A and B are shown apart, each in its own frame.
Chain A
Amino acid sequence: MTEVALQVSNLTTTFGHQGTAVTAVDDISFDVMPGEVLGLVGESGSGKSVTLRSIMRLMPQHSSVTGRVLWQGRDLLAMPEPELRKVRGGEISMIFQEPTTALNPVLPVAVQIEENLRAHTTLSKADRGKRSLELMDLVGISDAKRRLTQYPHQFSGGMRQRVMIAIALASTPKLLLADEPTTALDLTIQDQILKLILDLRDELKMSVVLVTHDLGVVAATCDRMAVMYAGRIVESGPVADVFGQPNHAYTRGLLGSVPRSGTERSPLLSIEGTPPGLMNRPTGCAFNPRCEFATDRCRSENPVLQAMAHGHEAACFHSDRVKAAGWAGS
Chain B
Amino acid sequence: MSLYFLRRLLQLIPTFAFILLVVFVLVRLLPGDPVSAILGVHAKDADVARIKHDLGLDQPIPVQFLFFLKSVAIGDLGTSIQLKLPVVSLIAQRLPVTVMLTVMAALMAVLMAVPLAFIAALRRDGAADSTIRGAFQVGLSMPVFYLGLILLTVFGARLGWFPVGGYGEGFIDHVYHLFLPAFSLALSLAAILMRNLRASIIGVVDAEYVVFARSKGIAPLIILVRHVLRSALISTVALFGLSVGTLLGGAVITETVFAIPGAGRLMIDSIYGRDYPVVQGMTMALAVVVSLTFFLTDMVEAWLDPRVAR
Q: Which residues of A contact B (CB under 8 A)?
A: 53, 56, 58, 60, 84-90, 93-94, 96, 98, 101-108, 111, 115-116, 118-120, 151, 153, 164, 167-168
Asked if B288 is at the interface of the complex by the 8 Å CB criterion, the answer is no
Near A by CB (< 8 A), chain B positions 292-310 give 304-307
Which residues of B are found within 8 Å of A108, using beta-carbon distances? 306
CB of A48, distance to nearest CB on chain B (Å):
16
CB of B218 within 8 A of CB of A89, answer yes
Partner of A101, one of B208, B213, B215, B217: B208
Asked if B214 is at the interface of the complex by the 8 Å CB criterion, the answer is yes
CB of B206 within 8 A of CB of A106, answer no
Q: Which residue of A lies closest to B223 (CB)?
A: A115
Asked if B212 is at the interface of the complex by the 8 Å CB criterion, the answer is yes
- Number of B residues near A (Cβ < 8 Å) is 23
CB of A58, distance to nearest CB on chain B (Å):
5
Can you list 20 contacts pairing A with B, beta carbon distance less than 8 Å? A58-B214, A58-B215, A88-B214, A88-B217, A89-B215, A89-B216, A90-B217, A96-B208, A101-B207, A103-B212, A105-B209, A106-B305, A106-B306, A115-B226, A116-B218, A119-B217, A119-B219, A153-B307, A164-B212, A167-B212
Which residues of B are found within 8 Å of A153, using beta-carbon distances? 307
Interface core residue of A107, A108, A151 (most chain B CB under 10 Å): A107
Interface core residue of B213, B226, B227, B234 (most chain A CB under 10 Å): B213
Q: Which residue of A lies closest to B307 (CB)?
A: A153
Asked if B268 is at the interface of the complex by the 8 Å CB criterion, the answer is no
CB of A104 within 8 A of CB of B215, answer no
Asked if B231 is at the interface of the complex by the 8 Å CB criterion, the answer is yes
Which residues of A are found within 8 Å of B305, using beta-carbon distances? 105-106
Which residues of B are found within 8 Å of A111, using beta-carbon distances? 226
Near A by CB (< 8 A), chain B positions 189-235 give 206-209, 211-219, 222, 226-227, 230-231, 234
The CA of A107 and the CA of B304, in the complex, are separated in Å by: 9
CB of B231 within 8 A of CB of A106, answer yes
CB of B227 within 8 A of CB of A151, answer no
CB of A206, distance to nearest CB on chain B (Å):
15
Interface core residue of A60, A85, A98, A108 (most chain B CB under 10 Å): A85
The CA of A115 and the CA of B230, in the complex, are separated in Å by: 16
Partner of B208, one of A88, A89, A102, A151: A102
The CA of A85 and the CA of B211, in the complex, are separated in Å by: 13
CB of A58 within 8 A of CB of B208, answer no
Partner of B216, one of A98, A107, A115: A115
CB of A119 within 8 A of CB of B231, answer no
CB of B209 within 8 A of CB of A102, answer yes
CB of A58 within 8 A of CB of B211, answer yes
Q: Which residues of B contact A (CB under 8 A)?
A: 206-209, 211-219, 222, 226-227, 230-231, 234, 304-307
The CA of A103 and the CA of B213, in the complex, are separated in Å by: 8
Interface core residue of B226, B304, B305 (most chain A CB under 10 Å): B226
Q: Which residue of B lies closest to A82 (CB)?
A: B219
Which residues of B are found within 8 Å of A164, using beta-carbon distances? 212
The CA of A58 and the CA of B207, in the complex, are separated in Å by: 12
The CA of A101 and the CA of B231, in the complex, are separated in Å by: 13
Which residues of B are found within 8 Å of A87, using beta-carbon distances? 217
The CA of A88 and the CA of B223, in the complex, are separated in Å by: 14
CB of B251, distance to nearest CB on chain A (Å):
33
On whether A93 and B213 interact (CB within 8 A), knowing A60-B206, A107-B226, the answer reads no
Which residues of B are found within 8 Å of A104, using beta-carbon distances? 209, 212-213, 227, 231
Q: 5 other contacts beyond A93-B216, A101-B207, A106-B306, with CB at 8 A cut-off?
A: A89-B215, A94-B212, A102-B211, A105-B209, A106-B234
CB of A109, distance to nearest CB on chain B (Å):
12
CB of B213 within 8 A of CB of A119, answer no
The CA of A164 and the CA of B211, in the complex, are separated in Å by: 13
The CA of A89 and the CA of B222, in the complex, are separated in Å by: 15
CB of B235, distance to nearest CB on chain A (Å):
12
The CA of A108 and the CA of B230, in the complex, are separated in Å by: 13
The CA of A153 and the CA of B226, in the complex, are separated in Å by: 18
For the complex of A and B, the 7 pairs showing the least CB-CB separation, nearest first, are A88-B217, A89-B217, A89-B216, A101-B208, A85-B217, A94-B215, A102-B212
Which residues of A are found within 8 Å of B213, using beta-carbon distances? 104, 115
Partner of B307, one of A58, A151, A167, A168: A151
Which residues of A are found within 8 Å of B209, using beta-carbon distances? 101-105
Which residues of B are found within 8 Å of A103, using beta-carbon distances? 209, 212
Interface core residue of B209, B213, B306, B307 (most chain A CB under 10 Å): B209
Q: Which residue of B lies closest to A87 (CB)?
A: B217
Which residues of A are found within 8 Å of B231, using beta-carbon distances? 104-106
CB of A56 within 8 A of CB of B207, answer no
Which residues of A are found within 8 Å of B218, using beta-carbon distances? 85, 89, 115-116, 118-119
Which residues of A are found within 8 Å of B211, using beta-carbon distances? 53, 58, 96, 102
Which residues of B are found within 8 Å of A90, using beta-carbon distances? 217
Which residues of A are found within 8 Å of B226, using beta-carbon distances? 107, 111, 115
Which residues of A are found within 8 Å of B234, using beta-carbon distances? 106
CB of B217 within 8 A of CB of A120, answer yes
CB of B1, distance to nearest CB on chain A (Å):
11
Which residues of A are found within 8 Å of B230, using beta-carbon distances? 106-107
Which residues of B are found within 8 Å of A89, using beta-carbon distances? 215-218
The CA of A222 and the CA of B222, in the complex, are separated in Å by: 36
The CA of A94 and the CA of B211, in the complex, are separated in Å by: 10
Which residues of B are found within 8 Å of A102, using beta-carbon distances? 208-209, 211-212
Which residues of B are found within 8 Å of A106, using beta-carbon distances? 230-231, 234, 304-307
